[in-house]
Structure 1
Amino acid sequence: MKTIETAIETGFDLNLLRVLAMLERTRSVSRAADALDMSQSGFSTALARLRRRFGDALFVRTPSGMEPTPRARQMILTAQSVLGQVQLGILDPPVFDAATVHTEFRLAMADVAEIVFMPRLLRHLQQQAPFARVSCVTLSPEDLPSAMASGDVDLALGYFPDLGAQAFFHQRLYTHTYACMLRRGHALLGARLTEKTYASAGHAVVSSPARSNALFEQFLQRRGIERRVVLSTPHHLSLPAIIEDSDLLATVPLATGARFAKLGTIELVRLPFKPPSFAVQQHWHRLYQHDARSAWLRAQVAGLFNDATDEWIGIEAALYGKDMRRRVASPVPAAGQAGGR
């Protein structure tokens, strides 16, 4: 702002603006000094500095109180404006009014996470932030950190083990695992799926940037299980149609499989081993830790997706038993992480 820049360049004490504004409000040196928590002599000294600086009496004692001169009236208007902007833009805590703001929330997630998060989240945001837009992006592990630092991405939702650096905060939402999909009427539905039949069956696998896919592949390699891959696709959303019209199997995160099973043509079955578990988290850059807009969005996500609202825990228990040990594959804890594991 030109007024502030000029004041700084000329060495003007901006605290003197408070003296002008308060004396205008109270029209009394003693009351103005009390209001600013100053001694009366200290206030008088500050007023004398102003008078010398501008070569004007600024305030003159009259029967009705201290009256501003024409020069002072002009200065007071600017002083009030500057002080008001400092109060609003610096001293007052930031406020985010979700009900009225026009904004765009930018979320990084894989398509598999969109299936899980977006229906419930979008429905909630349309009620709480009716003028907000939502934009979803899928970025490589190399590009995501810079996009979050610049504000191009507000939150990363899902499994992102690469965001464990000092620059990020994260909050665990719930723990998740995997299940196997196959079509209704599949021959393998009649018998318990074994590692041998699982490995020898034809598989459709998703080769997307979703880190949960890489986690499962690493798990299979450690166990020495090599699947017979018939189809590799970058998209989870094509799996229902592929599985429905073939004898292929597909291993997907449990919530994704449960969503597809609702279509009525897909069956969800347990894997022939205890699959790995992973922490589904929300991540944000530490630059936005105290940003009101970011904090509001994070609170909505945490309220919608957490251990208490985990709608897939019952399905997991039905497939693997209630006592299934969750071996959580989680990233290195970020500095100052939010929430417990």
Structure 2
Amino acid sequence: MRTDLNLLRVLLAVYETGNVTTAAKRLGMSQPAASAALARLRHSLGDPLFIRSGNAMEATPRAQGIIEHTREVIEIIDRDILSGPSFDPATSEQEFVFCLSEVGEVVFLPALFQSLRKLAPNARIRTISLAPDELVESLHEGRVDALLGYFPDLITPNIYQQRLFSHDLVCLVRLDHPLVGEHLTLDTFSKLEHLQVRDGSRRQEMYEAHLGKSGVHRNIVLQTSHYMSVPSIIEQSDLIVVLPRTVANMYIHHPNVRTVEPPLAIPRYDLKQYWHARYHESPRSVWLRRLISTVFSE
């Protein structure tokens, strides 16, 4: 036997108010509609359910026998199903997982960590790096909560993206470099020996492609995959390196390095946050995306 859940709501309301008219008002329906619903339930259960006693409706034994179960069912449905999920960052002990490149950790992680520790003090935070062909699946499966950085090829159905801010590149040289003054000419830039950081990012590919289109050739004498050794190498040599400004700004506390603007206009690039459509309405994801946008959006 199938019973409309709304009929059970009428049953509970009549039991608690003792009156069909009052029950109808509580449920936001007309008195005839409530009477019709009660009639359907009586027919379905084969019992009058309520007997008029003066001005009130008195429950039959059958109604009394099912009323507590009815109340429990309606409470469970209203609380756990119809109300939808919720997320309270202040009490959450869940783990937030971010996919970041090496530069991405420099750019995003310090401020993101501070904000999360303040608003979600019990949450755990983890960052990972993934190959390009793993990004979409990791977002889809929920193994990554947010992908942050420069991923211009991530134009895929069901992947949302939001621009946060733009970044640019700058040159780093030794403080007393004999060939680099306050300004750097394109001719000098081309003649200098270069340190190249190939970290596998699309930003690097964009920069290399731009130089190629501009007809700029460099004398690359050293390649590395990481930024950790860059300031030590630069301050002890006449090499020049082009790197994200945020990273360069971390190194200018070294006493023997300085930044200088590139001699040609290098396009700025947008840093974004990415997430999967499966979690677009998730309260946890919505809260996290708003936090990231608030912290980093221009």
Q: CA deviation at 1:265?
A: 4.1
* 8 Å CA contact 1:140, 1:209 repeated in 2: no
**Residue 18 (structure 1) aligned to one of 1, 4, 9:** 9
Residue number in structure 1 paired with 2:163: 172
TM-score, scaled relative to structure 1: 0.79
**Residue 287 (structure 1) aligned to one of 273, 278, 294:** 278
Task: Letter of the 1:249 partner, please give it.
Answer: I
- Cα distance between partner residues in 1 of 2:134 and 2:254: 35
- Cα distance between partner residues in 2 of 1:275 and 1:298: 29
SS in 1 for 2:132: coil
Task: Letter of the 1:243 partner, please give it.
Answer: I
- Cα distance between partner residues in 2 of 1:33 and 1:191: 81
TM-score, scaled relative to structure 2: 0.89
Q: CA deviation at 1:279?
A: 1.3
Q: CA deviation at 1:263?
A: 4.1
Residue number in structure 1 paired with 2:117: 126
Task: Mark the CA change 1:62 to 1:245 in structure 2 (over 3 Å): closer, same or farther.
Answer: farther
SS in 1 for 2:5: coil
* 8 Å CA contact 1:110, 1:209 repeated in 2: no
Task: Mark the CA change 1:237 to 1:48 in structure 2 (over 3 Å): closer, same or farther.
Answer: same
* 8 Å CA contact 1:108, 1:156 repeated in 2: yes
Task: Mark the CA change 1:63 to 1:191 in structure 2 (over 3 Å): closer, same or farther.
Answer: closer
Residue number in structure 1 paired with 2:59: 68
Q: What's the C-alpha RMSD, in Å, of the aligned pairs?
A: 2.3
After superposition, where does 1:232-311 map in structure 2 within 5 Å?
A: 232-307=223-298
Greater mean alpha carbon deviation, residues 243-252 or residues 169-178: 243-252
Task: Mark the CA change 1:21 to 1:251 in structure 2 (over 3 Å): closer, same or farther.
Answer: same
Q: CA deviation at 1:93?
A: 5.6
Q: CA deviation at 1:25?
A: 2.1
Task: Mark the CA change 1:72 to 1:207 in structure 2 (over 3 Å): closer, same or farther.
Answer: farther
Residue number in structure 2 paired with 1:88: 79
- Cα distance between partner residues in 2 of 1:73 and 1:17: 13
SS in 2 for 1:188: coil
Task: Letter of the 1:123 partner, please give it.
Answer: Q
* 8 Å CA contact 1:172, 1:282 repeated in 2: yes
SS in 1 for 2:227: coil
Task: Tell me the matched-pair count.
Answer: 298
**Residue 41 (structure 2) aligned to one of 29, 40, 50:** 50
Residue number in structure 1 paired with 2:24: 33
- Cα distance between partner residues in 2 of 1:199 and 1:164: 35
Task: Letter of the 2:83 partner, please give it.
Answer: D
Task: Mark the CA change 1:46 to 1:225 in structure 2 (over 3 Å): closer, same or farther.
Answer: same
Gap runs ≥5 in structure 2: none
Task: Letter of the 2:163 partner, please give it.
Answer: R
* 8 Å CA contact 2:158, 2:276 repeated in 1: yes
